[in-house]
């Protein structure tokens, strides 16, 4: 009984202590003043709309190929007795440089024989002309009644013999020309400034007419075939039947060389004139001058076979606004900042959307500010604080691309 009474007294004491603590905490509570929430504006980067006349670049890719490529073949038979020091794969040769020489002795002998034949034929013709002249004088002395038919006169004056002597001289002279040509063909010369791509013959090898000797290609110019989709042809100035005018259509070729982007200037030279039936593209050809930098030693060489990217300058369009592609939202919408520094959604008319830029024809006015910061639709009407402003025609120069501000 006493134990139960003590437990009751302890419980009442604990309850009373808890109640007293609660009352004390309530009486000493801090004042509950209500504060207005602080609104922080959205910080953005902006582009100031500038309309300008713009050439829309067209991107393409291709492989560098030589302007001319030749497989040099032997025209005479004989043993190769001499080769040039540059007669190696990758060797550069100039026009008319000797690549190799075939043993000329047989052809020199043949040349001497034909020269002797020509001299013999000339002597024979001279003798026959003398006989003809003597026969003419004798014919003129004959009495008028003794002169017979024209056929008899022709035989008497030795015209058939004279014509035969003349024909023999012509044949001997033709043989002499052939012998000289064959002797000249024993020396194989480069038809143009070239690089040796592949050798098929070597010093000491016996060759016959038709034997491949060497493959070369020109180094004064190189070309790149660029596939242009049919949908992008409207942005380019295509050539007429006479081709492009010099310097009318510049092309920027570039590729990664040892981790560094290298550029080469080129010219759009021509189109191939027909659409590819399967891909529906039109191939245009860009031409590069001095690809191996032989005349420009300080320039990076562009080797044949290199895969390059190309940027073609398109035709000029008037009053376009160029903006980064990443700011365009679904439905051709962008964020525009109004006079109250609030975000407003604006629908644009876009002429072309490339991989990095969009080209706007309508929907923006000169001097308006467009947000370069990507925001979702929940920010409509939000107040903003502008961190930077860049004219739209200087965005690429300022390094603003794909959402990055440098």
State the Cα–Cα distance between residues 91 and 214, nearest whole angstrom: 12
Instruction: Give the count of beta carbons closer than 10 Å to the beta carbon of residue 181.
Output: 13
pLDDT for 3 equals 65
pLDDT for 403 equals 41
Identify the weakest region by mean pLDDT among 19-33, 40-54, 143-157, 224-238.
143-157
Specify the higher pLDDT residue, 160 or 187: 187
Specify the higher pLDDT residue, 147 or 36: 36
Angle of helix 159-185 versus helix 105-141 axis, rounded to 10: 160
Pairing of strands 349-353, 357-362: antiparallel
**pLDDT class for 132, splitting at 50, 70, 90?**
confident
pTM for this entry:
0.71
| Whether pLDDT at 277 is above 90 | no
The class of domain 58-65+221-316 in CATH terms is mainly beta
State the Cα–Cα distance between residues 166 and 178, nearest whole angstrom: 19
Output the furthest CA–CA distance in the chain (Å, rounded): 195
Mean pLDDT of 85-94: 93
The class of domain 44-54+318-398 in CATH terms is mainly beta
Specify the higher pLDDT residue, 203 or 299: 203
pLDDT for 232 equals 84
**pLDDT class for 191, splitting at 50, 70, 90?**
very high
Kindly report, residue by residue over 260-275, the tens digit of the pLDDT: 899 999 988 888 888 8
Mean pLDDT of 339-356: 85
Pairing of strands 369-371, 42-48: antiparallel
For the record, the structure tokens of 285 come out as 């050809």
Specify the higher pLDDT residue, 159 or 23: 159
pLDDT for 96 equals 92
| Whether pLDDT at 62 is above 80 | yes
Q: Where are the chain's structural domains?
A: 44-54+318-398, 58-65+221-316, 72-102+187-218, 105-185
Share of the chain above pLDDT 70, in %: 88
pLDDT for 12 equals 72
**pLDDT class for 230, splitting at 50, 70, 90?**
confident
| Whether pLDDT at 88 is above 80 | yes
pLDDT for 239 equals 66
Specify the higher pLDDT residue, 341 or 158: 341
Kindly report, residue by residue over 20-59, the tens digit of the pLDDT: 777 777 777 776 666 666 667 888 888 888 888 888 888 8
| Whether pLDDT at 398 is above 60 | no
* Residues facing 49 on adjacent strands: none
- Look over the chain and give the mean of its residue pLDDT values, rounded to a whole number: 84
Mean pLDDT of 336-341: 88
pLDDT for 211 equals 94
Which architecture does CATH list for 72-102+187-218?
A: Beta Barrel (2.40)
Long-range contacts of 347-352 (CB under 8 A, 24+ apart): 351/56, 351/317, 351/320, 352/56, 352/235
Share of the chain above pLDDT 90, in %: 37
pLDDT for 406 equals 33
For the record, the structure tokens of 18 come out as 């808890």
Q: Is 182 exposed, middle or buried (0-12, 13-18, 19+ CB in 10 A)?
A: buried
State the Cα–Cα distance between residues 273 and 238, nearest whole angstrom: 10
Kindly report, residue by residue over 3-15, the tens digit of the pLDDT: 666 777 777 777 7
């Amino acid at each position: 009984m006493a134990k139960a009474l003590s437990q009751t007294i302890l419980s009442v004491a604990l309850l009373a202590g808890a109640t007293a603590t609660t009352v004390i905490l309530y009486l000493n509570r801090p004042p509950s003043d209500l504060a207005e929430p602080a609104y922080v504006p959205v910080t953005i980067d902006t582009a100031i709309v500038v309309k300008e006349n713009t050439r829309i670049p067209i991107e393409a890719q291709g492989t560098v190929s030589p302007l001319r490529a030749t497989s040099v073949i032997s025209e005479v038979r004989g043993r190769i007795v001499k080769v040039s020091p540059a007669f190696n794969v990758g060797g550069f040769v100039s026009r008319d440089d000797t690549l190799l020489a075939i043993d000329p002795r047989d052809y020199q002998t043949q040349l001497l024989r034909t020269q002797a034949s020509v001299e013999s034929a000339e002597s024979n013709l001279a003798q026959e002309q003398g006989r003809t002249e003597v026969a003419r004088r004798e014919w003129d002395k004959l009495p008028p009644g003794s002169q017979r038919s024209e056929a008899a006169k022709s035989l008497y004056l030795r015209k058939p013999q004279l014509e035969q002597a003349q024909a023999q001289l012509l044949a001997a002279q033709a043989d002499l020309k052939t012998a000289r040509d064959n002797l000249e063909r024993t020396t194989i010369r480069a038809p143009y400034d070239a690089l040796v791509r592949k050798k098929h013959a070597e010093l000491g090898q016996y060759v016959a007419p038709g034997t491949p000797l060497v493959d070369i290609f020109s180094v004064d110019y190189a070309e790149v075939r660029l596939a242009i989709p049919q949908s992008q042809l409207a942005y380019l100035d295509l050539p007429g039947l006479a081709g492009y005018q010099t310097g009318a259509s510049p092309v920027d070729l570039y590729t990664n060389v040892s981790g560094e982007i290298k550029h080469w200037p080129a010219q759009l030279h021509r189109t191939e004139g027909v659409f590819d039936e399967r891909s529906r593209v039109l191939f245009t050809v860009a031409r590069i001058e001095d690809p191996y930098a032989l005349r420009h030693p300080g320039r990076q060489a562009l080797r044949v076979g290199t895969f390059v990217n190309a940027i073609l300058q398109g035709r000029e369009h008037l009053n376009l606004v160029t903006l980064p592609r990443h700011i365009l939202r679904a439905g051709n919408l962008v964020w525009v900042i109004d006079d109250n520094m609030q975000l407003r959604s604006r629908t644009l008319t876009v002429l072309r959307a490339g991989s990095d830029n969009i080209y706007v024809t309508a929907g923006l006015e000169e001097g308006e500010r467009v947000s370069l910061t990507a925001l979702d639709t929940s920010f409509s009407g939000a107040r903003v604080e502008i961190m930077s402003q860049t004219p739209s025609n200087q965005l690429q120069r300022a390094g603003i691309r794909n959402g990055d501000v440098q």
